[in-house]
Amino acid sequence: MTRDNPALDLDPAALAISHRLSQRLRTAMDEAGGALTFEAFMDRALYEPGLGYYRAGAARFGAGGDFATAPELSALFSRTLARQAAEILDHLGGGDVIELGPGTGRLAAAALAELEHLGRLPRRWRMLEVSAALRQEQEQTLADLVPHLLERVEWLETLPTDSPRAVWVANEVLDALPVRRFVKRGDGIRELGVQPDGDGFAWSEQPADTELQRAVAAIEARLDAPLPEGYVSEVCTRLQPFLRGLSEALPHGVMLWLDYGYPRREYYLAERHRGTLLCHFRHRAHDDPFFHPGLQDITAFVDFTAVADAALDCGLEILGYAPQGPFLMGAGLAQVAESAIDGADAAGQVAVSNEVQRITHPGDMGERFKVMALGRGYHGPLSGFTLADRRATL
């Protein structure tokens, strides 16, 4: 990606937002002595109030945005998740569904419709959303698709304290946590930061602090080998405090985390020596995080071993870990797809088949995306992990 590509035809208002954000970043870099850590840069590029990618109010998801999540691609995905949530709630004796990062609201709309069809609606569907623009979009989506179920939906700006039994659903949330980026040098670990470079930004190196050194040492200890010279990657040191806050709001229930990622031994393979950083702009994936800050998504793949370690530290249990494809099949995707095909014309049947392929095939989302279930006090079944459970790989 290049900043001056005329084919991008960037909106002047969007460019103005990016320019204002870039100026704030430059000021912050000056105040910090010339550079910011990449973690700080990513945090502000995504979440700066009124200017960051998730705070500026522009379309982010679906055909008109920069990327499409599984709920945008297929209602079958959300309907199948609803069946897994229903099974959990049945064994909890009822409760709430709490959705983190609700996107456009399509997951909630399709899931609520499926739960109503099954006669197993939750007490409430609670959506944790801090963006006013996204909340408005979610409200419109639900009003369009399931207006009669809006009374079941509640929006939250902070973690709930009154959902004693709940299923938490978080699709593509962990990948958006800001990460620290590092490089292995002969004299030790160096942190990769960001500094001004002409009209844009460029990488810089600075000494790693104790926290980052310990995090990389823990990675190497789990790998039983040092990372090679020149190895560049990421580590999310925010993961443990992030999960701790959530775990304290889960007295009894299950969290379902769905995201692209690997267990640690795959995350830090030698061939992945440039890291896993991934940016999205208008459905183009690339690796330049400095392209028009505020106008593109910046993510990193999830180290699911780190998620498991953090969960255990927070007193949660690891209840299951599997690729998305077998998880969805175990949770009832075949039955959901069969009901969608029933009565559909030839074109509709092909569309359903294509959706199933997209969300389950190993060459698409089926293997690259993983599902991890974390829980507290739950001893019931989890059908999504009956076909595959790779906890042993963590």
CB contact at 8 A, 374 and 239: no
Q: What is the pLDDT of residue 139?
A: 97
Angle at 312 between CA 209 and CA 315, to 5 degrees: 115
Taking only Cα atoms into account, the Rg of the chain, rounded to an integer number of angstroms, comes to 21
What's the pLDDT score for residue 58? 54
β 232-235/278-281 pair status: unpaired
8 A C-beta contact, residue 226 and residue 191: no
Q: What tens-digit pLDDT sequence spans the chain (394 residues)? A: 555 454 456 788 889 999 999 999 999 999 999 999 999 999 999 999 999 998 875 545 444 545 578 999 999 999 999 999 999 999 999 999 999 999 999 999 999 999 999 999 999 999 999 888 889 999 999 999 999 999 999 999 999 999 999 999 999 999 999 999 999 999 899 999 999 999 999 999 999 999 999 999 999 999 999 999 999 999 999 999 999 999 999 999 999 999 999 999 999 999 999 999 999 998 788 999 999 999 999 999 999 999 999 999 999 999 999 999 999 999 999 999 999 999 899 999 999 999 999 999 999 999 999 999 999 999 999 999 999 999 999 9
Q: Please tell me the predicted confidence (pLDDT) of residue 6.
A: 40
Give the domains, in start order, of the chain with CATH numbers: 70-176+242-263+303-393 (3.40.50.12710)
Write down the pLDDT at residue 169.
Answer: 98
Residue 266 · residue 306 · CB < 8 Å: no
Nearest by Cα to 180 from 38, 310, 293, 43 = 38
Q: Give Dmax over CA atoms of the chain in angstroms.
A: 66
Asked if residue 53 lies in contact with residue 298, where contact means CB atoms within 8 angstroms, the answer is yes
